Chain A
């Protein structure tokens, strides 16, 4: 397992978490258009799952256990769960996309996803680049995904679980809920960048100071734009 927190590793934690009920909840939700009662029943477990995978804590339940004393806004505060349950305009809840658009798109671009989203698998296992697998990049990616799923869910290979995790991660970085609700974005500062998307201008983005050594060899277009002659 790649990330260890004391004596607990993420694989053990997630395995236990799935055993408690996330697997059933996710399966039921992901296979339909996310009926609200099912989501409500799984809410607590799902929140724990997001918090385990996405940076951030929610009410200290999960990450306080994993990393005592580390408190920060994160997935829960960014509204991941609310966003996943929310009907946005004429669109169904985002989680419904796990069985529709999301999986199809993901399958199509599997090689890239597998390469970008490193798996938290065993340290002793082969890395993506070292996998002694088939001749094509896509084939390596497919194998990589399977390893990821096995690492996360101890053999429960089900694409929609990972789809759900990625939705949560996108939501965190996108601050989707805040964008919808018009509320403050709080997911960002702790981990070093501003709250993701939002629409409010960042007024201290600049030092507003002259900088650098101008290159006199550059030219200027009639419209006043810098150009290389």
Chain B
């Protein structure tokens, strides 16, 4: 068995791992990043980072899939993430938003973590990722890379008639963007600012070692003679070759499912154990996808509805934040906080979302995904079908527990809070699309199937003031079960969120990781 020694070992390479690797390398630490997926170079051995759909293996290898079951209800939640160097950034929509301050007002967060405390770290992450503010207008074609698309205008027009606000969003994109609309699959023009490009490549330039195809099993004390504090046990994802990595600091950033599973596998090896909270409070980020059909005579002002298209442009270019500021007037008591973003969804995926398990035909159109059925579908819906992406504060009603083999098993129920969020979001969608514009809201996945999507899973290793309430402290250090922390063992990714952040999750993970690394050597 081979053993290698580093100052800092980062497990996972997404929005938590990337900042940890770069800031560690910049601090002069000898850094290794362990990533289970592959490296999307396009050229074996190349130092250049390249994402391209021309690689045959790309699409199938790109998505990490976990399925959370609700056994009693016989439903499933599909948890999607990125797999490969760059983690979730490989498949994200580039929307980079700071979490609202009300999120951190919730006492489940440690008192030290507030929006104002995180703001400098948000700024640092925004700068490193190259986040820019999109706009409706600009100088053509010079500003195309930072402009909103037709889909955004259609959504904004519909919102305006409903008395609901809509604004362009900040997006991590660069001048190479060609508005092709396939952002979540990777960008052939390298216009998408992902963690591999923005964090990991600079880290590698500073000497960080990026290991791919490596599965981290658990962490344990290295022992008195090892010369380092921690020993990370790994195996090759393909060949099963065992190897040890020794490090003084281990940052776990394997995502909401992966980080919880890694800590649970490590628990019996760690003196003092870990909090029993580990794996609880899994949230879907309030994710919903609500399909809706805009009317043919939608009023687009100066624009022609005949020229409307839904796919070109950034996959998300705008958002309505309206329902973060005030409750929806048409939906009873309570306040479900959520945002609505019009998403560009590939037709092949769209058909799966829109169609019910029986094919669901309407208006004489067949919604199936194959053959002529899809032609009919696109002819009828291609320029009017809007997918509303919802993110909000749900009930954190999932969990991650490892089985006897150490494999994570994801479970979900649907709590009253989550049900209320979904009902509130549907009410808002109907208000915007149907009541105010004469369009039609279609059944969403959870309505059709009882199943749901989790594109922004979070919360299994939540921050808290102590191990009775959470898994890590405000500096991301892992609690011992009985109090105190494991020195040099951190978690930094979206699993650390104490509650849902109500917006896209990527930037907060980066900011939390930035802060944790800055405080690494603090007393």
Chain A nearest CB from B271 CB (Å) reads 36
For A94, the chain B residues whose CB sits under 8 A away are: 56
| Residue A55 CB within 8 A of the other chain | yes
| Residue A225 CB within 8 A of the other chain | yes
A209 adjacent to B153 (CB under 8 Å): yes
| Residue B168 CB within 8 A of the other chain | yes
- Known A193-B309, A224-B133; contact A120-B383, beta-carbon cutoff 8 A: no
Q: CB < 8 Å: which of B57, B100, B157 contacts A97? A: B57
B357 adjacent to A130 (CB under 8 Å): yes
| Residue A184 CB within 8 A of the other chain | no
Bound: A118/B349 CA distance, A = 11
Chain A nearest CB from B500 CB (Å) reads 14
Please provide the chain A residues from 106 to 122 with a CB less than 8 Å away from any CB of chain B in the complex.
Answer: 106, 109, 111-112, 115-118, 120
B312 adjacent to A180 (CB under 8 Å): no
| Residue A40 CB within 8 A of the other chain | no
Q: CB < 8 Å: which of A54, A72, A206, A225 contacts B131? A: A225
B150 adjacent to A205 (CB under 8 Å): yes
B372 adjacent to A109 (CB under 8 Å): no
Interface residues on chain A, number (Cβ under 8 Å) = 81
For B324, the chain A residues whose CB sits under 8 A away are: 228
A193 adjacent to B179 (CB under 8 Å): no
Please provide the chain A residues from 3 to 38 with a CB less than 8 Å away from any CB of chain B in the complex.
Answer: 3, 5, 10
B375 adjacent to A2 (CB under 8 Å): no
B56 adjacent to A206 (CB under 8 Å): no
B170 adjacent to A208 (CB under 8 Å): no
For A5, the chain B residues whose CB sits under 8 A away are: 372
Chain A nearest CB from B166 CB (Å) reads 4
B127 adjacent to A223 (CB under 8 Å): yes
Minimal Cβ-Cβ distance residue in B for A51 = B371
For A129, the chain B residues whose CB sits under 8 A away are: 357, 449-451
- Known A206-B148, A227-B98, A228-B503; contact A70-B313, beta-carbon cutoff 8 A: no
For A156, the chain B residues whose CB sits under 8 A away are: none
Interface residues on chain B, number (Cβ under 8 Å) = 107
Please provide the chain B residues from 40 to 97 with a CB less than 8 Å away from any CB of chain A in the complex.
Answer: 53-54, 56-57, 59-61, 63, 65, 67, 69, 71, 76, 78, 96-97
B98 adjacent to A221 (CB under 8 Å): yes
B373 adjacent to A3 (CB under 8 Å): yes
Q: CB < 8 Å: which of B65, B159, B170 contacts A112? A: B65
B348 adjacent to A173 (CB under 8 Å): yes
Chain A nearest CB from B410 CB (Å) reads 10
For A138, the chain B residues whose CB sits under 8 A away are: 67
A118 adjacent to B503 (CB under 8 Å): no
- Known A192-B382, A209-B303; contact A221-B122, beta-carbon cutoff 8 A: yes
For B60, the chain A residues whose CB sits under 8 A away are: 101-102, 105-106, 109
For A225, the chain B residues whose CB sits under 8 A away are: 96, 126, 131-133, 170
B347 adjacent to A63 (CB under 8 Å): no
B311 adjacent to A194 (CB under 8 Å): yes
Q: CB < 8 Å: which of A54, A66, A211 contacts B152? A: A211
B180 adjacent to A193 (CB under 8 Å): no
Q: CB < 8 Å: which of A105, A115, A118, A228 contacts B321? A: A228
Minimal Cβ-Cβ distance residue in A for B59 = A170
B150 adjacent to A118 (CB under 8 Å): no
Q: Which of B139-147, B216-224, B241-249 is found at the contact surface with chain A?
A: B139-147
| Residue B123 CB within 8 A of the other chain | yes
B312 adjacent to A118 (CB under 8 Å): no
B179 adjacent to A205 (CB under 8 Å): yes
B370 adjacent to A120 (CB under 8 Å): yes
B157 adjacent to A211 (CB under 8 Å): yes
- Known A118-B355, A191-B347; contact A221-B160, beta-carbon cutoff 8 A: no
User: B320-334 interface mask toward A, CB cutoff 8 Å, 1 = contact, 0 = none?
Assistant: 011011000000000
Bound: A194/B150 CA distance, A = 13
Q: CB < 8 Å: which of B100, B169, B349, B352 contacts A226? A: B169
User: A82-126 interface mask toward B, CB cutoff 8 Å, 1 = contact, 0 = none?
Assistant: 000000100100100100011001100101100111101001000
Please provide the chain B residues from 300 to 351 with a CB less than 8 Å away from any CB of chain A in the complex.
Answer: 300-303, 307, 309-313, 318, 321-322, 324-325, 346-349, 351
Minimal Cβ-Cβ distance residue in B for A88 = B54
A209 adjacent to B137 (CB under 8 Å): yes
A196 adjacent to B179 (CB under 8 Å): no
Please provide the chain B residues from 89 to 138 with a CB less than 8 Å away from any CB of chain A in the complex.
Answer: 96-101, 115, 119, 122-123, 126-127, 131-133, 136-138
For B313, the chain A residues whose CB sits under 8 A away are: 202, 205-206
For B169, the chain A residues whose CB sits under 8 A away are: 226
A201 adjacent to B178 (CB under 8 Å): yes
Bound: A123/B349 CA distance, A = 22
For B181, the chain A residues whose CB sits under 8 A away are: 193-194, 202, 205
B378 adjacent to A208 (CB under 8 Å): no
B56 adjacent to A3 (CB under 8 Å): no
A203 adjacent to B144 (CB under 8 Å): yes
For A180, the chain B residues whose CB sits under 8 A away are: 54
For A210, the chain B residues whose CB sits under 8 A away are: 136-137
Q: CB < 8 Å: which of A72, A97, A128, A205 contacts B149? A: A205
By a beta-carbon cutoff of 8 Å, the part of chain B in contact with chain A is 53-54, 56-57, 59-61, 63, 65, 67, 69, 71, 76, 78, 96-101, 115, 119, 122-123, 126-127, 131-133, 136-138, 140-141, 144, 147-150, 152-153, 156-157, 159-160, 163-170, 177-182, 185, 188-189, 300-303, 307, 309-313, 318, 321-322, 324-325, 346-349, 351-352, 355-359, 366, 368-375, 378-379, 381-383, 449-451, 502-503
By a beta-carbon cutoff of 8 Å, the part of chain A in contact with chain B is 2-3, 5, 10, 52-55, 63, 66-67, 70, 72, 88, 91, 94, 97, 101-102, 105-106, 109, 111-112, 115-118, 120, 123, 127-130, 135-138, 169-170, 173-174, 176, 179-180, 190-194, 196-215, 217-218, 221-229
18 A-B contacts (beta carbon < 8 Å)? A88-B54, A105-B57, A109-B60, A109-B65, A120-B373, A127-B357, A130-B357, A170-B59, A191-B378, A191-B382, A208-B138, A210-B137, A212-B165, A213-B159, A217-B321, A225-B126, A226-B168, A229-B115
